[in-house]
Amino acid sequence: MPGASTGNIESVLSEDRRFDPNRSFTQRAQLKQELLDELCRRGESDPVSLWADLAREMLTWHKPFTATLDRSRAPHFAWFSDGELNASEACLGPWIRNEPDRPAIVYEGEDGDSRTLSYRELGDAVERLGATLRGQGVASGDRVVIYMPMCPEAIVAMHACARIGAVHSVVFGGFSARSLYDRVVDASAEVVITADAGRRGGKFVRLKAAVDRALEYGEHPVRRVIVFRHSGEEIAWHDRRDRWAHELTEAAAADCPAEYVNTEHPLFLLYTSGSTGKPKGIQHSTAGYLLHASLTCRWVFDLREDDVFWCTADVGWITGHSYVAYGPLASGATVVIYEGAPTWPHGGRFWEICERYGVTVFYTAPTAIRALMKLGDELPGKYDLSSLRLLGTVGEPINPEAWMWYHRVIGNGDCPIVDTWWQTETGGIMISPVPGVTSTKPGSCTRPLPGVHAAIVDENGEEITEPDRGGYLVIRHPWPSMLRDIWGDSERYRETYFGKFGDDCYITGDSARRDADGYFWIMGRLDDVVNVSGHRLGTMEVESALVAHPSVAEAAVVSRPHEIKGESIFAFVVLKSVPAEEGVPPSPGSEGVPFSKPDAVQRELRAWVDEQLGPIARPDDLRIVDALPKTRSGKIMRRLLRSIARGEEINQDVSTLENADLVRQLMQP
């Protein structure tokens, strides 16, 4: 990890506003000051026994555990490792038995169609699909890739896997065929669950067609593709491989006994970008993960059965796992899911849905808030948002102006806001206000939750106690929902997360500072990952995709701040010369000199990245240049490129550059 200058990161943000918890919220809250203080005290002095007590209280065990934290394979930690349970059963079972008719999922499609599934109906669908998967030869521990639109069947598919002990690996429906292929192969999944097509922004997202293309990229282990009919789009069919989900489930048994697995059994893999081109399959456990997802729904969202909870994340991301598919259902709440874009067919779509279903707790990303804020205050004003009692954000730092708008316009100046910091790897929320207790400051995720030993350390792993000095954000004690491994690459797991400060010190990869009140302020990623609209993308992946284009010689990708997306991708590209008959003639006599029709090249390269990685990875800026600035050792001078992309003053030493004119050229749009 670079970040050698972490200690020197300057904080430019100064924020003095402070909001105390709303009194009526505090009165009803499940977690009040006294209990929180007690939990924090225990979390500090004896986290292991605290987590064990919480695990006994929160989860439905098939076989209770006696072991707590097992450090014998550190930094691979195991929690409660002699217990047995089933994650889906633990989530849904109690509600199916006690309140079968309570709505579990309320779904709204982009074109306005709406469906509600009660806990019983959800449970029935899970059992049928579970029985189907078993009938297709899927056994406990087998990996199943889920590539679905945001619809109830995506959640059914996740729970069906969990029910039979299969390990799901959801691939975000916005990822391309190529990304899907890589993930299917890495996980060696034999079964893919998909749908004909999804909908977004008035267009079809042709998922089945992408699966077909993915499985043509090369060798793969997939023997069965199970297809849900969703949009009704026509699709190509491979008789030997493809099966309609509705045909299989109609023929399958109605019941599917749960497979009880060991607490440490992998519940799922979820791939995230790393700083090298290859995505990492983050592996989560069953019990530890579920404990944290459920517990934080209580602590942070104060969720209870009568809540209508809307987390706008897609199930393709960790937020959609912990706070759509698992945590809120374990809490017995009603979960709203919406397939479609926040501004389609009009900018009031989110607020319309909040009004229609009486959403009480709303959780979204700063990128969405900024996009909606841009449309003005009038739109939300048209809807009755009075059912909202709590607002949340996740995914990237929220700038104070967006926080204030969220507070004032959506929350009517009255809803607490929880700015929740966590990661795919942490499984659930780690640093966040507790809404009935913590005073908030716009832009700060405030304090760690009980049992979470978050700290800021310097280069040598020494804690930085001085207020407002930036450093590495680390977690200095294992916690139950931490990732267990990187699928198939334990070496990379150790190096990435524990390499620097020892086995007990998990490195988040973020930099942060703490203010004089002990509040945490996240400053950004330390490695080369761009956070586009709350989605982490490795710049290396985008570079690899660009370089894979036949006319590209070299590419360097950096980020620049973007008003709506948080960060956007800025690519510097050096071209090879391409023969004239291929469409875009190069300037005569030189390699890598700009084409005479640069617009066409830029369009083509953007479309190419789209095809390779998906639209979220498409560079917003793409500058064709003669060469990339490199150090003597051949490393691309990323910091220089970043300054250029951001339009900042150049104060790096560029004397090592062979072509002194290069900087001027790099700066020309």
Identity of the amino acid at 365:
A
Stretch that binds ligand WTA, among 238-246, 421-429, 484-492, 546-554 (CB under 6 A): 421-429
Of 421 and 487, CB closest to ligand WTA: 421
CB nearer to ligand WTA: give 529 or 666: 529
Angle at 529 between CA 527 and CA 534, to 5 degrees: 130
Q: Is 134 in the site for ligand WTA (CB under 6 A)?
A: no
**Which ranges of 453-532 would DSSP assign to H, the alpha helix?**
490-498
x/- contact string, 311-330, with ligand WTA (CB under 6 A)? ------xxx-----------
Task: Kindly tell me which residue out of 396, 528, 541, 554 binds ligand WTA, with binding defined by CB under 6 A.
Answer: 396
Here's the x/- map for ligand WTA, 533-562, by CB under 6 A: it reads as ---x--------------------------
- With CB under 6 A as the contact rule, which of the stretches 124-132, 208-216, 323-331, 422-430 interacts with ligand WTA? 422-430
Distances (CA, A) of 669 to 98, 570, 599: 63, 12, 12
Task: Single out the residue of 29, 522, 540, 542 in contact with ligand WTA (rule: CB under 6 A).
Answer: 522
- 3-class secondary structure, 213: helix
Assess contact for 356 and 387: CB atoms under 8 A: no
Among 118, 176, 249, 272, binds ligand WTA (CB under 6 A): 272
Cβ(60)–Cβ(94) below 8 Å: yes
Site for ligand WTA in 279-318 (CB under 6 A): 317-318
Q: Which two tokens stand for residue 336?
A: 């709203």
Give 423 or 602: the residue with its C-beta nearer to ligand WTA.
423
For ligand WTA, give the closer residue by CB, 393 or 602: 393
Angle CA 422–31–504, to nearest 5: 40
- Other Cβ atoms closer than 10 A to 429: 29
Q: Which amino acid is at 311?
A: C
10 Å CB burial of residue 239 (0-12, 13-18, 19+) is: exposed
Near ligand WTA in 607-626, by CB under 6 A: none
**CA–CA gap between residue 470 and residue 38 (Å, rounded):** 29
Residue of the chain from 283, 334, 360, 420 that contacts ligand WTA (CB under 6 A): 420
User: Which residue number, 119 or 472, has a Cβ lying nearer to ligand WTA?
Assistant: 472
CB closer to ligand WTA, 422 vs 608: 422
Q: How far apart are CA 591 and CA 351, in angstroms?
A: 53
Rounded to the nearest 10 degrees, how much is the dihedral formed by the CA atoms of 429, 432, 436, 438? 160
Residue whose CB is less far from ligand WTA, 309 or 357: 309
Rounded least distance, CB 510 to ligand WTA, Å: 5
Max distance between CA atoms of the chain, in angstroms, equals 77
Q: How far is the CB of 96 from ligand WTA (least distance, A)?
A: 29
Query: Which of these ranges, 77-85, 346-354, 379-387, 417-425, lies near ligand WTA under the rule CB under 6 A?
Result: 417-425
- Of 133, 150, 151, residue with least CA distance to 142: 133
- When the beta carbons of 132 and 273 are compared against ligand WTA, the nearer one is 273
For ligand WTA, the binding residues in 65-124 under the rule CB under 6 A are none
Closest distance between ligand WTA and the C-beta of residue 617, in Å? 14
Say whether 107 sits in a helix, a strand or coil: strand
Interacting residues with ligand WTA between 375 and 394 (CB under 6 A) = 394
The footprint of ligand WTA on residues 425-454 (CB under 6 A) is: 445
Strands in 210-354 per DSSP E: 224-228, 242-244, 261-262, 268-272, 280-284, 308-311, 334-338
Rounded to whole angstroms, how far apart are CA atoms 343 and 560? 24
15, 110, 115: which is closest to 444 by C-alpha?
15
Return the range that interacts with ligand WTA (CB under 6 A); candidates 191-199, 304-312, 345-353, 506-514.
Answer: 506-514
Binding residues among 1-60 for ligand WTA as defined by CB under 6 A: none
**Element housing 535 (H / E):** strand 535-538
CB of 453 to ligand WTA, least distance (A): 17
Amino acid symbol at 72: S
Contact between 132 and 252 under an 8 Å Cβ cutoff? The reply is yes
Sign of CA dihedral 563, 567, 571, 572: positive
Q: Which of residues 189-228 bind ligand WTA (CB under 6 A)?
A: none
Distance of closest approach, residue 452 Cβ to ligand WTA, in angstroms? 14
Contact 574, 592 (CB under 8 A): yes
Which range binds ligand WTA by CB under 6 A, 73-81, 186-194, 233-241, 415-423? 415-423
Rounded to a whole number of angstroms, the minimum distance from the CB of residue 153 to ligand WTA is: 23
CB of 419 to ligand WTA, least distance (A): 5
Smallest distance, Å, CB 394 to ligand WTA?
5
CB-count burial class (<10 Å; 0-12, 13-18, 19+) for 327: buried
**Smaller CB separation from ligand WTA, 529 or 640:** 529
Residue 421 sits in the site that holds ligand WTA (CB under 6 A)? yes
Residue 525 interacting with ligand WTA (CB under 6 A): yes
In this complex, which beta carbon is closest to ligand WTA, that of residue 279 or of residue 348? 279
Strands (E), 288-328: 308-311
CB nearer to ligand WTA: give 525 or 549. Answer: 525
Q: Cβ closer to ligand WTA: 235 or 512?
A: 512
Using the contact rule CB under 6 A, the part of the chain among 144-152, 179-187, 192-200, 419-427 near ligand WTA is 419-427
Size of the site for ligand WTA (CB under 6 A): 22
- Does 471 bind ligand WTA (CB under 6 A)? Our answer is no
Interface segment toward ligand WTA; rule CB under 6 A; list 288-296, 331-339, 395-403, 450-458 = 395-403
> DSSP for 643-665?
HHHTT----S--TT-S-TTHHHH
99/527 with CB nearer ligand WTA: 527
Q: What is the closest distance, in whole angstroms, from the C-beta atom of residue 429 to ligand WTA in the complex? A: 8
Least gap, CB of 401 to ligand WTA (angstroms): 15
Which residue in 486, 503, 559 sits closest to 527, CA to CA? 559
510 binds ligand WTA (CB under 6 A): yes
Nearest to 154 by CA among 179, 129, 189: 129
- Give me the least distance between CB of 507 and ligand WTA, in Å please: 11
Quick one: how far is CA 25 from the chain centroid? 29
Q: In what order do the strands lie in the sheet with 114-118?
A: 114-118, 103-108, 334-338, 308-311, 361-364, 390-394, 417-420
Q: Which residues bind ligand WTA (CB under 6 A)?
A: 272, 317-319, 394-397, 419-424, 445, 508-510, 522, 525, 531, 536
